[in-house]
């Protein structure tokens, strides 16, 4: 099962490819390391693009269609770059019951974007999650990687405003 010795060259001199390659090597360049490899790409680059998908496919000796299939099957992977700031609104049951939809509505009202979209000036992306495991603090929002709980729509809007600096 081990790949032959001809190692695939990284798409560029960017050091982040080394992190990706480390993960693939740890899995012996085997096909079952695909999801872990895609996680490594997304962690390093923020999203998966054609170049990275092809690089992973070639390195693991997999057809690009299979890699693309996996990348699009799992919600965690994104094929689009995110805006400068991100706001993840939890839409799990506990948060929904406590008014997460109102937070999303408010964001749409303020910035004109729906979940999965980015503002035209590329400042803010809005995403949703299915429970981030902090249900005790519902509704939960993650702004630029920092979680906050028990926020009202107004408080969230203020919070985003401060981060985006608008």
Partner 1 sequence: MIPDELKAITDAETEASAKVRCRLNVCMAAGCQSCHGDKVLKALQAEVASRKLEGVEVRGVGCLGLCAEGPLVLVDPEHVLYQRVQAEDAADIVAALGGKPVKRLVCSLETPFFKRQKFIVLENSGKINPERLEDYVAHRGYEALATCLTERQPPEVVAEVLASGLRGRGGAGFPTGLKWQMVAKAAGPKKYIICNGDEGDPGAFMDRSVLESDPHRVLEGMALAGYAVGADHGYVYVRAEYPLAVKRLNNAIKQAQKAGLLGPSICDTAFTFNVEVRLGAGAFVCGEETALIASVEGRRGQPRPRPPFPAEAGLWGCPTLINNVETFANIPPIMREGGKWFAGIGTEKSKGTKVFALAGRVCNTGLIEVPMGITLREIIFDIGGGIPEGRKFKAVQTGGPSGGCIPEQFLDMPVDYDSLAKVGSIMGSGGMIVMDESSCMVDVAKFFMEFCRTESCGKCVPCRVGTAQMHNLLSSICAGTATMDDLALLERLCDTVKFTSLCGLGQSSPNPVLTTLRYFRHEYLAHITDKRCPAGVCNIHSLAEVHA
Applying CB under 8 A, which residues contact partner 1? 30-36, 38-39, 69-70, 73-77, 91-98, 129-138, 140, 146-150
Order of strands, edge to edge, in the sheet holding 124-129?
124-129, 85-90, 141-143, 146-148
x/- mask, ligand FES, residues 46-75, rule CB under 6 A, reads ------------------------------
Residue 121: its H or E element = none
Cβ at position 66, least distance to ligand FES in Å: 32
One residue of 41, 57, 140, 153 binding ligand FES per CB under 6 A: 140
Please report, for residues 16, 35, 76, 121, the alpha-carbon distance to residue 41 in angstroms, rounded to integers and kept in the order given: 8, 10, 12, 25
Which three-class secondary structure state does DSSP give residue 153?
Answer: helix
**CB of residue 89 vs ligand FES: minimum separation in angstroms?**
9
Interface residues for ligand FES in 94-113 (CB under 6 A)? 94-95
Q: Alpha-carbon distance 62 to 39, whole Å?
A: 17
């Amino acid at each position: 099962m081990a790949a032959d010795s001809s190692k695939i060259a990284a798409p560029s001199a960017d050091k982040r490819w080394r992190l990706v390659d480390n993960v693939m090597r740890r899995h012996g360049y085997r096909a079952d390391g695909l999801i872990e490899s895609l996680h490594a790409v997304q962690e390093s680059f923020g999203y998966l693009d054609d170049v990275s998908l092809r690089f992973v496919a070639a390195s693991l000796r997999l057809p690009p269609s299979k890699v693309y299939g996996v990348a699009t099957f799992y919600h965690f992977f994104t094929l689009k770059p995110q805006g400068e700031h991100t706001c993840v609104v939890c839409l799990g049951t506990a948060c929904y019951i406590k008014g997460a939809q109102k937070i999303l509505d408010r964001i749409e009202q303020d910035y004109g974007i729906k979940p999965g979209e980015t503002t035209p000036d590329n400042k803010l992306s809005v995403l949703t999650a299915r429970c981030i495991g902090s249900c005790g603090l519902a509704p939960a929002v993650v702004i630029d990687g920092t979680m906050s709980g028990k926020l009202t729509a107004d408080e969230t809007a203020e919070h985003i405003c401060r981060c985006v600096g608008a």
